[in-house]
Chains A and B, each alone.
Chain A
Amino acid sequence: MNSILFSNTVRFVLLILFQVFICNQMNFFGNINPYIYILFILLYPVKNNRVSFIFFSFCLGLIIDIFLDSGGAHAAASVSIAYFRPIFLKFSFGSAYEYQAIKFNDSEILQRIIYFALLILIHHLILFILVVFDGTKTNMIVSRALSSGVFTLFLTLILQTLFSQKEK
């Protein structure tokens, strides 16, 4: 139990630093940046206290907001995917979720991609709606959400594979 708490705390801090000082300096094609800090929300233990999980997600988003001067956009997007996460877990992992026996590390790759992609898409759409905050710029919202969403998905999958410990 303690090791889970420890690894999540370390992940929380490292992801914030990695996001602010590396990912936000990438600027592919001028404005495409990955938002890999949501890996914390994606990989949070399935067996959890939902109230504290939602609260941690909010804090994570708010810290990112303070560094990036984006008001509360990241906080709103993070807290939404934290709240809606169970629906997507059930959708992509099916019965494994019912038994609360999901291991992200040794789940099927396709299930993992679907789960990551759906949550990233929702997160990025909410994020860019709040960042752009202009009803007449729908094209910009969708194109930015999709382009950095693909980038985020790619990086989260790589990072998750790199740092997962294989239990044999």
Chain B
Amino acid sequence: MQQLLNFFFKNRTTVLFLILFLVAFTITTQSHDYHKSKLLNSSNQISGSIHGVFSSIGNYFNLKQENTLLLEENNWLKSQVFNSIIKIIDTLEFEKKFKLTPTLVNKNSYQYLENYITLDIGENDGVKEDFGVITSKGIVGIIDQTSSKYARVLSILNTKSKINAKIKQSNHFGTLGWDGINHNIVQLNDIQDLAEIAIGDTIVTSGFSYTFPENIPIGTVESYKLNDTKDLYVVNVRLFNDMTNLRHVHVINNLDIDELQTLNPANE
């Protein structure tokens, strides 16, 4: 026993190094597992508030761009109102099932394989896990961690992200993922080989999951090919959103989610 203790004491730097390396390695592997990294992420109070201070300084640099974006969105919404009365009733219907909350992006990344976005909104504002996040142009991701004031979003530019999507014209659906290569292009997998795809087709959300309503735009078809087993298409989708430049986003809350989940607990 004495010798063992002596051995550890003599090699204490090596032992400490091995222990710390193992700890770091374990945290890393857990963070690669979905839903496990509860403690160490950017939505916690301290790092969240520091990110908030710096992003509020950065806000001023993008005011002009944001104004144009808001003007475009207003323009689109007004043209909807002026051109069709039935659409207005549809939007009211939409309001009943989904509640939208506007918020700001505190931190965004797109250079890694697993990218996360931190939002300036949290449990105090009624935000929970699995709420969807969109901009006026298209989808951004799904909330995966929350603290009382901040929330972390699993970006669509994350190799772990899986979102249901479909081709707008033909209603063939698949899973949207990312291969980590280009931050403007994501992949729509598992599309039936019977589907007719044309370059330039619009890809939208399918509405099968409870996170996003149907027909939220995602992007257009850039190119497509058969997968390795030659029975399903892999479609490269060019995003409408510029994921490198996000400021104002909306959090979507599906008000019927509890009811839907009791009806079909297996479906996420």
Binding site for B on A (CB under 8 A): 21, 24, 27, 30-33, 50-51, 54-55, 58, 61-62, 65-73, 75-76, 79-80, 82-83, 130-134, 137, 140
Contact = CB atoms under 8 A, between A and B. Distances in A.
Interface in B1-45: 12-14, 16-17, 20-21, 23-32, 37, 40-42, 44
Which size bracket describes the interface of B in this complex? 35 or more
Contacts of A33: 111
23 contacts: A27-B111, A30-B183, A31-B111, A51-B12, A58-B24, A61-B24, A62-B24, A65-B27, A66-B44, A67-B42, A67-B51, A69-B31, A69-B116, A72-B26, A72-B27, A73-B24, A73-B28, A76-B28, A80-B21, A82-B17, A131-B112, A131-B114, A133-B29
Question: What are the 10 closest A-B residue pairs judged by CB atoms, nearest first?
Answer: A71-B31, A72-B27, A76-B24, A72-B24, A31-B111, A75-B24, A71-B28, A83-B17, A72-B28, A69-B116
Interface of B: 12-14, 16-17, 20-21, 23-32, 37, 40-42, 44, 47, 50-51, 54, 109-114, 116, 152, 180, 182-183, 244
Given A27-B244, A62-B24, A70 B13 contact: no
Contact of A66 (B42, B111, B183, B244): B42
> Chain B at the A interface: mostly helix, strand, loop or mixed?
helix
Contacts of A50: 13
Nearest to A131: B112
Nearest to A26: B111
A54 B51 CA distance: 27
